């Protein structure tokens, strides 16, 4: 039912294939974020046209809206949202711990971590909720997502060694409770490697998580404000420890250049809100660099957003028209920009897979990094 195979390698970069009950995923792969059961400014038909293989849902948000009872009554998340391909759901841990950055009016944190789990005040009504490792697994079993994640303790940057070590240990204890709580055979659980930005803790977390012999492994706690060179350094040393034959998922990353660098150190799977969020603010990723469609210089520019792109947006509309839609606050501006950005990410991953197969990933990466460093305007 589930299987992962590495088909080809070019240095540390891997070309793989992940089999799930809802379809086969070619890796490296970028997973669009469908936080609440939908990718923002998109419908599933548009995602399918792009070639999207898998989307990501979020336990925290789906638990709050529409709630577990609704999704269970619908027969699971695939049925509820009408998506027939694979789904990965994260535990909601990152969302919960990100609430800790916000404070109540009296200065107290919105989050309280205990050994049993984590208390938090939701961002909608301010009600107090309690997530345990067992509850998070139960929620994801109700969802019926193909790949599920355990509750972990995500650490901010910077942090102390002592706190990073404590979070590492708690994450492992919560992982053991998650493994024990899991009952469904038609889902696979990934372990999450923590350890913050300390090399010895990252290696320790990787090795001890591997002892659980899970289907795959995620690298958590990165892209939380650290310099990019540190992020890639941490991802590389974790990949050096993880088993070759199992999939590796770098959580919450990233920008196109981040994906290319991480593929080069051995990562297979990615997710990030960047392409959809930036589309809604008027930033387009192109073969010529990042393009800010809001600018005045595009008012009478009737060329396509990216002359090298074959997406629906670039084949049919001009920069001038997209700028007009954006400034007119038309919903179609967000849709067309998002189609382009997700298509760009899909083609970037498609090209990476082909480059690994042909043994020229390094030149492929270098070429794209040069292009991506340019700001078109």
Catalytic residues: 90, 271
Residues 314-318: contacts with CB within 8 Å, 24+ apart? 314/340
Pair type for strands 87-90 and 55-58: parallel
Rounded to whole angstroms, the Cα distance separating 9 from 263 reads 11
Tokens of 6: 């590495």
Place of tokens 């289907």: 215
Which among 250, 246, 240, 237 is positioned nearest to 214, based on CA atoms? 246
DSSP assigned state of 103: B
What one-character-per-residue DSSP string does 115-182 give? SS-EEEE-TTT--EEEE-HHHHHHHHHHHT-SEE--------SS--HHHHHHHHHHHHHHHHHHHHH-
Is the preceding peptide bond at 309 cis, omega within 30 degrees of 0?
A: no
Cα distances (Å, whole numbers) of residue 232 to 241, 261, 312: 15, 7, 33
Angle at Cα 183 formed by Cα 180 and Cα 189, nearest 5°? 70
Alpha-carbon span 46 to 146, nearest angstrom: 22
Q: Is the dihedral of CA 69, 70, 71, 74 positive or negative?
A: positive
Nearest residue to 56 via CA among 124, 142, 185, 147: 147
Name beta bridge partners: 4: 18
């Amino acid at each position: 039912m589930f299987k992962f195979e590495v088909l080809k390698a070019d240095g540390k970069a891997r070309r793989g294939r992940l089999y799930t009950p809802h379809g086969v995923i070619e890796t490296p792969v970028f997973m669009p974020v469908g936080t609440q059961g939908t990718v923002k400014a998109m419908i599933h038909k548009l995602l399918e046209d792009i070639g999207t293989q898998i989307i990501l849902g979020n336990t925290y948000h789906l638990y709050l809206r529409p709630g577990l009872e609704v999704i269970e009554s619908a027969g699971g998340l695939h049925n509820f949202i009408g998506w027939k391909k694979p789904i990965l759901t994260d535990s909601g841990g990152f969302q919960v711990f990100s609430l800790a950055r916000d404070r109540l009016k009296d200065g107290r944190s919105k989050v309280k971590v205990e050994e049993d789990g984590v208390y938090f005040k939701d961002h909608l009504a301010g009600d107090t909720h309690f997530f345990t490792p067992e509850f998070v697994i139960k929620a994801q079993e109700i969802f019926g997502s193909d790949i599920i994640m355990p509750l972990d303790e995500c650490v901010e940057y910077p942090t102390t060694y002592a706190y990073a070590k404590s979070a590492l240990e708690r994450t492992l204890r919560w992982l053991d409770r998650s493994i024990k709580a899991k009952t469904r055979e038609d889902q696979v659980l990934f372990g999450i490697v923590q350890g913050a930005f300390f090399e010895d803790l990252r290696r320790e977390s990787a090795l001890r998580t591997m002892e659980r012999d899970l289907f795959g492994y995620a690298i958590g706690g990165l892209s939380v404000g650290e310099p990019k060179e540190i992020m890639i350094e941490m991802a590389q040393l974790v990949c050096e420890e993880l088993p070759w034959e199992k999939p590796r998922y770098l959580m919450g990353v990233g920008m196109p250049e981040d994906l290319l660098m991480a593929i080069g150190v051995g990562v297979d799977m990615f997710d990030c809100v960047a392409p959809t969020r930036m589309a809604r603010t008027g930033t387009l990723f192109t073969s010529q660099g990042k393009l800010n469609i809001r600018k005045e210089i595009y008012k009478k520019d009737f060329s396509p957003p990216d002359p090298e792109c074959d997406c629906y947006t670039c084949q049919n509309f001009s920069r001038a028209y997209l700028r007009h839609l954006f400034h007119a606050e038309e919903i179609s501006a967000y849709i067309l920009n998002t189609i382009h950005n997700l298509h760009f990410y899909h083609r970037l991953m498609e090209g990476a897979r082909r480059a690994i197969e042909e043994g020229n990933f390094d030149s492929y990466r270098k070429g794209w990094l040069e292009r991506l460093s340019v700001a078109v305007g």
